[in-house]
Amino acid sequence: MAGSSFGRIFQVTTWGESHGKGLGAVIDGCPAGIPLCEEDIQRFLDRRKPGQSRFTTARREGDQAVILSGIFEGKTTGTPISILVENTDQRSHDYSAIKDIYRPGHADYTFDQKYGFRDYRGGGRSSGRETTGRVAAGAVAVKFLEELGVHVDAYTRSIGPIEIDAGRFDLSRRDENRLYMPDPEAAKEAEAFLESRMAEKDSTGGVVECVIRGLPAGIGEPVFEKLDACLAKAVMSIGAVKGFEIGDGFAVSRARGSENNDEFCLDSQGNIKKKTNHAGGILGGISDGSDITFRAAFKPTPSIATPQRTVTRDGEEREIVIKGRHDPIIVPRAVVVVEAMAALTAADLLLVSLSSRIDNIKAFMKRS
Amino acid sequence: MAGSSFGRIFQVTTWGESHGKGLGAVIDGCPAGIPLCEEDIQRFLDRRKPGQSRFTTARREGDQAVILSGIFEGKTTGTPISILVENTDQRSHDYSAIKDIYRPGHADYTFDQKYGFRDYRGGGRSSGRETTGRVAAGAVAVKFLEELGVHVDAYTRSIGPIEIDAGRFDLSRRDENRLYMPDPEAAKEAEAFLESRMAEKDSTGGVVECVIRGLPAGIGEPVFEKLDACLAKAVMSIGAVKGFEIGDGFAVSRARGSENNDEFCLDSQGNIKKKTNHAGGILGGISDGSDITFRAAFKPTPSIATPQRTVTRDGEEREIVIKGRHDPIIVPRAVVVVEAMAALTAADLLLVSLSSRIDNIKAFMKRS
Amino acid sequence: MAGSSFGRIFQVTTWGESHGKGLGAVIDGCPAGIPLCEEDIQRFLDRRKPGQSRFTTARREGDQAVILSGIFEGKTTGTPISILVENTDQRSHDYSAIKDIYRPGHADYTFDQKYGFRDYRGGGRSSGRETTGRVAAGAVAVKFLEELGVHVDAYTRSIGPIEIDAGRFDLSRRDENRLYMPDPEAAKEAEAFLESRMAEKDSTGGVVECVIRGLPAGIGEPVFEKLDACLAKAVMSIGAVKGFEIGDGFAVSRARGSENNDEFCLDSQGNIKKKTNHAGGILGGISDGSDITFRAAFKPTPSIATPQRTVTRDGEEREIVIKGRHDPIIVPRAVVVVEAMAALTAADLLLVSLSSRIDNIKAFMKRS
Amino acid sequence: MAGSSFGRIFQVTTWGESHGKGLGAVIDGCPAGIPLCEEDIQRFLDRRKPGQSRFTTARREGDQAVILSGIFEGKTTGTPISILVENTDQRSHDYSAIKDIYRPGHADYTFDQKYGFRDYRGGGRSSGRETTGRVAAGAVAVKFLEELGVHVDAYTRSIGPIEIDAGRFDLSRRDENRLYMPDPEAAKEAEAFLESRMAEKDSTGGVVECVIRGLPAGIGEPVFEKLDACLAKAVMSIGAVKGFEIGDGFAVSRARGSENNDEFCLDSQGNIKKKTNHAGGILGGISDGSDITFRAAFKPTPSIATPQRTVTRDGEEREIVIKGRHDPIIVPRAVVVVEAMAALTAADLLLVSLSSRIDNIKAFMKRS
């Protein structure tokens, strides 16, 4: 595991770099009997695709998912699901401008240090295009979770200083704008803000929020494999994420215990629930049955048209001006990546939890 | 791996609950030839120990570390290092007050949901006492890293609204106060703040910051096993942590690319370095040779003397008043836990990185 | 994972060397709700203990198991079970005779090559005493499997040329002789054979056979994690094992397909079964519901009283005569170790199999 | 890890079934800087290909390897290497004869029990065609090992009762006959033997032997991850293997310690070596620097033209006659699969061993 695999039972391995023959994912450990077709995956890839708006690059990637294995008569068989997305745009480009120079905010320098050289074409494996495999695999995890009544929804919470308004929040309207903001007014303001950043040849960061609904209580392991710890790793492993918080997040550092504790009560059917959800749905690393909510902070796109100082591979100081058209913000296309990583995490930990109790295992033995 | 193991090469497995016979850690994969004695571990455990000040519980735990295996003639042998910390305070307590009731902010309810029942004595495995094994193992990781010139230092950055001042920051003075704040003036203010919270029978949260110095460039894997993602999981797996950020963290969501990018330059010896460190020492998931800096947000101690509403295991609503003396803040004793988790992560990823390049492996073959 | 952990869900980590303070095992991932006490473990350790007969060393090890964690009110809690076996015989011995010399058939030389030095006291971690932790953990796995109606039984199949007779085979009589041969007549012959080897200051090898009954069909994964592959690794990881075979084993290399294939038929209740069991209960790496049978070949005890040629650490040729009393055969005490490893493997793969089908997972969701 | 991944650092994940769109492997953790091209992989696939002789099926599979990622300018980059082998023969066949019936000696029944249904086209994932991914990945491991001077060679040792003669053994002549026997006379006898089995509409088993040369001492971990244990798992995970032995293997069970122990001596340069190699190159689970030798027993091809009794999925007894042309023996095409699995195991454990000693790690730090 040099780090291209994720999960212990529901496990994905991704591969591919921005300018090779393609990218893909192999999902091993997906239970048998789940309906799955290429269209299920395509819907997710389309949300990640460039060229959706004037704030995303125009490169026509196509990104057509092909399922190569693991499906029989429309259902998963329990064997590995291999998904291939060919790179259609393989024209030879001129990379001489970045071949021997370290772009600020990119992984050029660290790849060279780690491996001794790098595939400099479009960032190679450190390109945002690497997330294609994650999204394809996440689509499978979502399909599995939906069979169980578990739903994962991510959306843009803020773009630079423009944040969605809790009062106007409407998840059903998320896809109405290409910024994936579930608040049309905030989306309009954010578009104006992005225009101004682009005019300044600059970029901005933002925040993605995600909610997992329907996960039963009891998912997650109590020490190192806490559900929130696993979500943190999953989300922080997305390039450009610099912060992660669950529930009230960093605000807890200034809160009082008496405010921050969620009191338990009974609902009208007599079931145990919490009056509030400062904890974000997790207690002691284990889901408590309420909504799981978390946020991820994305840094501004590092590729900007403004001249920057840097050094070459050979140790000379230089100015670099990054050419080509680049998104002024990463967030909108990253929304589906966050959703994918959350789904992969929830699917995996749910399967790990099947073995917590002897009574569940006895029930399994009876059926088999 | 039900979740009590951490790391792939340098791997720790912890065990134990608050009121059993003891707690411990088994460290497997520690390289052979590192000087290690019980005192090295004791120094770390003593920083986690209760009873250090009037803000920590008086329980006399002792927490004496015994090394049971893996050391020969004062050096690690490459085989598992088993460390035992006996629970000296095993008097039978009266737990009838919390046996059948769910404390707000604790994992009582989720453990019951996951396992069908729980060890209710002092929180069992979800107790803060679980971190004893982490700290013991972290001490070994620190010893290993120090042999390589890598240093890990955590400290209290804020307690409630009281934050250390960058101008007054002095790491060498961290241990002068029992809040582990490297700013004596802030520490004094924080003490007064804690007194007021205690007088109100309430608690507060805070922030721990950590710096890793001396890690060479090239550590961390580019996709799912990014160094920052692994640190996030390590730190979020500490009970009570609700947020994690690296470098500028959440602030990047409002930053401009032109500000947030760290330009490369040459130092006086002609080595490549960065002019700034907004990234927190990691680019594309791989260390860049500069300091690695991150922060963790801790929630307020959930055990408070104020009456709270909750429900019983049998589904009755009740009031609960938590007795006994509890720390009004988790942060000071958690500083060393953060340091331990950071050291374990850095040690493990450093060892994983040994195999990145064929030239390194050829050098190994020549020596062996 | 430097190799002291075994299993993915039901996972054991062992530690300890022959002359340290003790040995032990941490079992993580054992389901909650299984009755377990120290006596359950002691029964297994006693079968491994030296001094049971005149063919085993007289060292009084005691080998008392203490459970340090993971049990509450007589049941497993789902958290790690730490088991400690203290070394009571820690008198300082004189190891100068073997300190700098490589005993033939032992791991002295390879440890030195791997780690640069070694704990030479009694073989350190390469001692047969290392299996103490395996047996303790195996006892827990057996307890878990028995709750599910799965039984694991190993026994001595042959000692040197003396093999049990299929016609006389009676598992219920296995424990009547200290060679653990389920055929009293063969046991008597074997005892005489061992006496002659001892008189010649020599040792002998033998074969252990093991049967797993009651495992349902469907356990094991189809490619790399085949049930037979996992059993092979488990058993080959016991020091001194040089061969492993399942079902008809090496004999298949000379068999015909028409003989070796097990035809399917219906039993009197109309259930599918196999007429024969050449396959040893596994088809395509997955259990088929019939008995799982395998064998392991053990080499002769390498410690013999006969003088042998060897070299010192410093590269001088020498004669070595190994002092002290050593078992003339490893097999009898290894029977319970094979049983332990088989139980650990079956327990782990059974838990992995819980996630194979979506209908099982839907049933779990309904219960939780 | 539902079981389609192998290895911890040098890790392969395979996917694909016999009648899907293709098969493949993703190799993660291969060090950067190793020359690799498609031809390197093709050479290995060609040795596994059907249609090489009249003893192998005529199906024209083609089996062209395409590298989709992980290579830049002819060298591995350290990122995942994805290899695709398309299934060119995807005509729709008539599988009605085997759709609802359980072939003796095949995994039809166990797949149905595990997953609830199965991809019955040509055996799906339990087909011998699954080994395509292993061979492709093994070719990469071989390339890596050869860079380090480590060589892996497997060959047919016996076919039914016909065994190669130690006196005539000549590895350089292995590829002269399509049975891959390094003894032309034995090969001729074996061909005649196979003709007779085919005439009888029957099949036979055989034994593959493998030698790893050039592996330095110190590779393998001392407890559960012993080099021999890992090789056993690797090789037993190949469908149809029923036995594994290292060095003298099962013969040790009848040997004396005085014969079986390999005495150490000095070679002409004063280096430590062993006079004999009964151990097969491994002591205490760790390589000792001499050749590593092991054998695997393969069962007879289960698909035979002779009528057999069996049952249907619906529980009716039936006769089955398997149509089509099937190899009368698995062994010749399996030789390269054994080689691949041995190479993958050696490559992985070699990389794990990089972290055994602090002095090696200090040397790494100096270089980086």
Distance CA A19, CA A99 (A): 14
Segment C39-51 mean pLDDT: 90
| Under 8 Å between Cβ of C168 and C191 | no
Distance CA B28, CA B34 (A): 14
* Token pair listed for C200: 């010649």
Distance CA A344, CA A235 (A): 11
Q: Which residues have a Cβ under 8 Å from the Cβ of A148 and sit 6 or more positions away?
A: A214, A350, C361, C362, C365
Distance set, CA C77 to CA C138, C145, D209, D365 (Å): 18, 16, 47, 43
Identity of the residue in A107, A232, A302 whose CB atom sits nearest the CB atom of B261:
A302
pLDDT in tens, C159-170: 999 999 999 999
Distance CA C213, CA B25 (A): 35
Identity of the residue in C110, C300, C306 whose CB atom sits nearest the CB atom of D284:
C110
**Binding site annotation covers D54?**
yes
pLDDT band, residue D49 (cuts 50/70/90) = confident
Contact yes or no for A368 and C216 at CB 8 A: yes
Res A228: pLDDT: 98
Identity of the residue in B207, B284, B300 whose CB atom sits nearest the CB atom of A107:
B284
- The DSSP-derived string for A147-177 is HTT-EEEEEEEEETTEE--TTT--GGGGGGS
pLDDT band, residue D148 (cuts 50/70/90) = very high
Closest-CA distance of chain D to residue B2, Å: 14
Q: Which residue has the higher pLDDT, D297 or D92?
A: D297
Identity of the residue in C352, C357, C367 whose CB atom sits nearest the CB atom of A33:
C357
Tokens 């057509």 label which residue?
A64
Closest-CA distance of chain B to residue C82, Å: 7
Chain D residues whose beta carbon lies within 8 Å of the beta carbon of residue B361 = 31, 148, 350-351, 354
Closest-CA distance of chain B to residue D301, Å: 38
Nearest residue of D to residue B354 by CA position? D354
pLDDT in tens, B77-95: 999 999 999 998 666 677 8
Nearest residue of C to residue D277 by CA position? C105
Distance CA D16, CA C368 (A): 35
Segment A266-271 mean pLDDT: 94
Res A110: pLDDT: 97
Helices (H) and strands (E) in chain D, counts: 9, 18
Chain A residues whose beta carbon lies within 8 Å of the beta carbon of residue D119 = 72, 77, 79
Segment D289-306 mean pLDDT: 97
Tokens 């083609």 label which residue?
D62
Identity of the residue in D8, D237, D255 whose CB atom sits nearest the CB atom of C229:
D237
**Binding site annotation covers D49?**
no
Segment D261-284 mean pLDDT: 97
Q: Taking 90 as the threshold, does the pLDDT of residue B266 lie above it?
A: yes
**Binding site annotation covers C125?**
yes
Identity of the residue in A8, A10, A32 whose CB atom sits nearest the CB atom of C357:
A32
Residue of B127, B134, B197, B223 to mutate, interface with A, max A Cβ within 10 Å = B223
| Under 8 Å between Cβ of D332 and D319 | no
Contact yes or no for D354 and B354 at CB 8 A: yes
Q: What's the mean per-residue pLDDT of chain B? A: 94
Of A248, A164, A161, nearest to A205 (Cα)? A161
Residue of C76, C362, C364 to mutate, interface with A, max A Cβ within 10 Å = C364
| Under 8 Å between Cβ of D97 and D54 | no
Contact yes or no for D66 and A21 at CB 8 A: yes
Nearest residue of D to residue C298 by CA position? D253
Chain B residues whose beta carbon lies within 8 Å of the beta carbon of residue C77 = 17, 115, 117-119, 124-125
Nearest residue of B to residue A117 by CA position? B357
Closest-CA distance of chain B to residue C78, Å: 7
Contact yes or no for C250 and D242 at CB 8 A: yes
- The DSSP-derived string for C247-279 is TTGGGGGG-BHHHHS--EEE-TTS-EEES--TT
Contact yes or no for D317 and C254 at CB 8 A: no
| Under 8 Å between Cβ of B70 and C119 | no
Contact yes or no for B355 and D33 at CB 8 A: no
Res C236: pLDDT: 98
Q: Taking 80 as the threshold, does the pLDDT of residue A368 lie above it?
A: no
Contact yes or no for C363 and A367 at CB 8 A: yes
pLDDT in tens, A8-57: 999 999 999 998 899 999 999 999 999 999 999 999 999 988 767 667 66
- Interface chains of chain D (3 or more CB pairs under 8 Å): A, B, C
Report helix angle C38-48 to C331-352, nearest 10: 140
Chain D residues whose beta carbon lies within 8 Å of the beta carbon of residue C110 = 217-218, 220, 282-284, 286-288
Distance set, CA B220 to CA B282, B283, B355, D12 (Å): 9, 10, 12, 20
Q: What's the mean per-residue pLDDT of chain D? A: 94
pLDDT in tens, C89-136: 666 677 877 889 999 999 999 999 999 999 998 889 999 999 999 999
| Under 8 Å between Cβ of B270 and A315 | yes
* Token pair listed for C111: 């440890």
pLDDT in tens, C51-73: 676 676 655 557 899 999 999 99
Q: Beta-carbon neighbour count of residue D201 at 10 Å? A: 15
Q: Taking 70 as the threshold, does the pLDDT of residue D193 lie above it?
A: yes
pLDDT in tens, D211-268: 999 999 999 999 999 999 999 999 999 999 999 999 999 999 999 999 999 999 999 9
Distance CA A348, CA D146 (A): 38
CA-CA-CA-CA torsion sign (C177, C180, C186, C191): negative
Identity of the residue in C104, C107, C230 whose CB atom sits nearest the CB atom of D233:
C230
Of B98, B91, B90, B68, nearest to B81 (Cα)? B68
pLDDT band, residue C227 (cuts 50/70/90) = very high
pLDDT in tens, A134-148: 999 999 999 999 999
Of B4, B232, B20, nearest to B129 (Cα)? B20
Identity of the residue in A239, A246, A311 whose CB atom sits nearest the CB atom of B242:
A246
**Binding site annotation covers C8?**
no
Identify the DSSP state of D35: B
Distance set, CA B237 to CA B130, B139, B155, D80 (Å): 11, 18, 18, 29
**Binding site annotation covers C332?**
no
Phi and psi for D347 in degrees, rounded to 5? -60, -45
Residue of A36, A90, A112, A119 to mutate, interface with D, max D Cβ within 10 Å = A119
Contact yes or no for B9 and D351 at CB 8 A: no
Distance CA D334, CA D125 (A): 17
Contact yes or no for C11 and B2 at CB 8 A: yes
Terminal CA-CA length for chain B: 33
Contact yes or no for B358 and D217 at CB 8 A: no
Q: Beta-carbon neighbour count of residue A251 at 10 Å? A: 16
Segment A118-144 mean pLDDT: 94
Chain C residues whose beta carbon lies within 8 Å of the beta carbon of residue A368 = 216-218
Q: Could you tell me the pTM of the whole model?
A: 0.97
Chain C residues whose beta carbon lies within 8 Å of the beta carbon of residue B70 = 15, 17, 20
Q: Which residues have a Cβ under 8 Å from the Cβ of A122 and sit 6 or more positions away?
A: A17, A18, A19, A93, A95, A129
Provide the H-helix boundaries in B200-330: 227-236, 257-260
Chain D residues whose beta carbon lies within 8 Å of the beta carbon of residue C281 = none
| DSSP H/E element including C44 | helix C38-48
Closest-CA distance of chain A to residue D282, Å: 25
Distance CA D194, CA D144 (A): 36
pLDDT in tens, B33-89: 999 999 999 999 999 887 676 676 655 557 899 999 999 999 999 999 999 999 986
Res D90: pLDDT: 60
- Interface chains of chain A (3 or more CB pairs under 8 Å): B, C, D
Least confident range from A169-173, C351-355, D92-96: namely D92-96
pLDDT in tens, A301-348: 999 999 999 999 999 999 999 887 789 999 999 999 999 999 999 999
